Amino acid sequence: MLDVRDASDYLEGHISGSINISLGRLPYVWQHDLFPDDNILILSNNWYQSNKAARILRKHGFRSLFTIQGNVWSAQSCFQKTPPKGGRHCGHRLNH
């Protein structure tokens, strides 16, 4: 999971296990933590950030890229080992 929000937003709250590389730094430092063969789930504040991050990574050979449509924080329950209260399924779609 790649969180492309600013470091200050990431420090305020993030999904456990995610890697923070802000969108502005992504073109320069992606190779420190990411590999083109990885499946990458892009977490961001909005569609524009996710789309831009995906374009940057595609230029570097990444092919398995996914984003979440909807609020990242409500989507956090999708990544927990136990289902959310009431056993409801996550209502977020993954896009690639």
Q: How is 41-54 classified by DSSP, letter by letter?
A: EEE-SSHHHHHHHH
Give the model confidence (pLDDT) of 50-62 as tens digits: 999 999 999 999 9
Classify 68 as helix, strand or coil. strand
The reported pLDDT for the residue numbered 71 is 57
The reported pLDDT for the residue numbered 5 is 92
The reported pLDDT for the residue numbered 24 is 93
- Separation between Cα atoms, residue 3 and residue 5, nearest integer Å: 6
Which parts of the chain register pLDDT below 70?
A: 69-96
The reported pLDDT for the residue numbered 73 is 53
Where helices occur in the chain by DSSP H, the ranges are: 7-12, 26-29, 47-59, 72-75
The reported pLDDT for the residue numbered 67 is 86
- Separation between Cα atoms, residue 51 and residue 77, nearest integer Å: 23
Beta strands 65-69 and 2-3 are: unpaired
The reported pLDDT for the residue numbered 60 is 95
The reported pLDDT for the residue numbered 87 is 37
Classify 36 as helix, strand or coil. coil
The reported pLDDT for the residue numbered 59 is 95
